[in-house]
Structure 1
Amino acid sequence: MNDAEQNFFRPKWRRVAITIFCAGWSALEWLTGNPFWGVIFTAMFFYCLWKYWYTFDENSSAE
């Protein structure tokens, strides 16, 4: 992740919002019977969990 992306996602509310959005959109696609888009947004949800919650370094000082 480059510095510009890291600075944009530094506030926790943005990381929460994008993760919830992907989870909700994934559920919507599965519930409406669109498995292709359901898989895409489920993958995006897990990517958000990995990138913004598991490996995100809140202590790095990107200036």
Structure 2
Amino acid sequence: MLSETDRQFFKPFWRRVVATLTCAVWASIEWLYDEPMWAGFAALLTIYCVWNFFYRFEEDDADEDNSPQ
């Protein structure tokens, strides 16, 4: 569960993508160097990022609604 501060920080889509890809690359490197404990940890962190940043993330439509009335 993300706090309001976390939600504001990760509101730009590119930040969520970079954070998720960083975890995925970390997991890949750990698997490559035969470190299964750290690879598993990074893989779980990647899954957590995907779940919170893409599946459950709610963007505020009220902030983006700048249409004239």
TM-score > 0.5, shorter chain as reference? yes
- Give the TM-score of the pair, scaled to structure 2: 0.83
Q: CA deviation at 1:61?
A: 5.4
5+ unaligned residues in a row in structure 2: which ranges?
64-69
Question: What is the correspondence of 1:1-63 to structure 2 with a 5 Å cutoff?
Answer: 1-59=2-60
The sequence identity of aligned pairs, in percent, is 35
Q: CA deviation at 1:58?
A: 1.5
Instruction: Report 1 or 2 for greater relative contact order, CA contacts < 8 Å, sequence distance ≥ 6.
Output: 1
Instruction: Please list every run of at least 4 consecutive aligned residues from structure 1 whose deviation after the TM superposition is greater than 3 angstroms.
Output: none
5+ unaligned residues in a row in structure 1: which ranges?
none
- Give the TM-score of the pair, scaled to structure 1: 0.91
Separation (CA, whole Å) in 2 of partners of 1:26 and 1:61: 37
